[in-house]
């Protein structure tokens, strides 16, 4: 009888308590992947990664009693790295969309919209995605922006208009440079990125039309087979919202107050 109880207890142990504990790549460390090319969420500042997501990772790790370790990875490689267990989570200004939800779980943390960026003075008179027909749009590989540009192209074609030439580059900063150098007529970015671009290089860029898709959510990606870590992140997130850290980050990075996902 005793033997049976012990065997049962041992068999159930992993499925109860132990499995709920986050499985981390390196014990005591929260290894997070990010593509450091997406201001103001993550970018290089004086040689160091900075941005909303960097501060968020620090705050969350702090609440979880872990040490945050950033692994820089190109954006398109983030989900594969997560699935391949090279990183614990992804915090990289990543939009939650149906395709990504199929392969990973997300902890939402911010509301953003999209906006078109053009050269100063808007020489091509771009006011919306519908006015991009026949023009060139630069976008980072594997992002929702690339998807929107391709969608715009398809809808132009279906209306019998010239399609959009999509230039796919590794990161948002490459795209901003391409716009600057007249390789592209427009880029599509998040509203937060546009604010950062206008703040960092006044007169270098301009908005092409109003924000759209304004109910998009950014999320922290977690493996589906890692519910313990997801629960721990959600708990830490509630804690930083409750103690005001989260609201402080939104202010620090000049994001609109409406960006709060909570």
* Residues at the site binding another protein, with contacts judged by CB under 8 A: 76, 79-80, 83, 99, 102-103, 138, 141-143, 146-147, 167-170, 174, 177-178, 181-183
Measured between alpha carbons, how far is 245 from 62 in angstroms, rounded to an integer?
12
Measured between alpha carbons, how far is 130 from 102 in angstroms, rounded to an integer?
29
β-pair partners for 23: none
CB 214 to another protein: min, Å:
23
CB 28 to another protein: min, Å:
30
CB 180 to another protein: min, Å:
8
- Tell the burial category of 239 from Cβ atoms under 10 Å away from its Cβ (0-12, 13-18, 19+): middle
Cis amide leading into 40 (omega within 30): yes
CB 173 to another protein: min, Å:
10
CB 190 to another protein: min, Å:
17
Q: Toward another protein, which CB reaches closer, 150 or 245?
A: 150
β-pair partners for 50: 43
Q: Toward another protein, which CB reaches closer, 115 or 143?
A: 143
Q: Toward another protein, which CB reaches closer, 57 or 149?
A: 149
Q: Toward another protein, which CB reaches closer, 174 or 193?
A: 174
Measured between alpha carbons, how far is 215 from 119 in angstroms, rounded to an integer?
26
Instruction: Give the other-Cβ count within 10 Å of 27's Cβ.
Output: 7
Q: Toward another protein, which CB reaches closer, 104 or 116?
A: 104
Chain centroid to Cα 247, Å, comes to 18
Q: Toward another protein, which CB reaches closer, 62 or 168?
A: 168
CB 142 to another protein: min, Å:
3
Residue tagged 């007529």 (tokens): 185
Measured between alpha carbons, how far is 54 from 70 in angstroms, rounded to an integer?
8
Q: What is the CA angle 74-80-81, rounded to 5?
A: 70
In three-state secondary structure terms, 144 is: helix
Chain centroid to Cα 99, Å, comes to 14
Name the phi and psi angles at 189, rounded to 5: -135, 175
Q: Toward another protein, which CB reaches closer, 45 or 225?
A: 225
CB 13 to another protein: min, Å:
29
């Amino acid at each position: 009888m005793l033997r049976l109880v012990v065997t049962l207890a041992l068999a159930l142990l992993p499925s109860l308590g132990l499995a709920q504990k986050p499985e981390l790549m390196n014990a005591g460390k929260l290894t997070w992947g990010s593509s450091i090319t997406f201001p103001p969420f993550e970018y290089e500042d004086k040689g160091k990664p900075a941005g909303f997501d960097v501060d968020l990772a620090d705050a969350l790790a702090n609440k979880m009693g872990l040490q945050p370790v950033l692994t820089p990875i190109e954006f398109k490689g983030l989900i594969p790295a997560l699935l391949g267990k090279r990183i614990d989570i992804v915090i990289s200004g990543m939009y939650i969309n149906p395709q990504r939800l199929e392969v990973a779980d997300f902890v939402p943390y911010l509301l953003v919209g999209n906006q078109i960026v053009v050269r100063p003075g808007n020489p091509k008179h771009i006011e919306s995605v519908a006015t991009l027909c026949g023009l060139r749009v630069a976008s980072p590989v594997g992002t929702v922006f690339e998807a929107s540009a391709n969608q715009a192209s398809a809808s132009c074609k279906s209306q019998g208009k010239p399609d959009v030439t999509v230039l796919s580059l590794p990161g948002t900063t490459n795209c901003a440079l391409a716009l600057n150098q007249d390789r592209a007529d427009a880029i599509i970015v998040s509203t937060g990125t546009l604010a950062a671009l206008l703040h960092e290089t006044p007169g270098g860029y301009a908005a092409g039309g109003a924000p759209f898709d304004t109910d998009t959510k950014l999320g922290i990606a977690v493996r589906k087979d890692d519910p313990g870590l997801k629960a721990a992140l959600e708990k830490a997130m509630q804690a930083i919202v409750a103690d005001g850290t989260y609201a402080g980050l939104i202010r620090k990075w000049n994001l609109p107050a409406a960006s709060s996902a909570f």
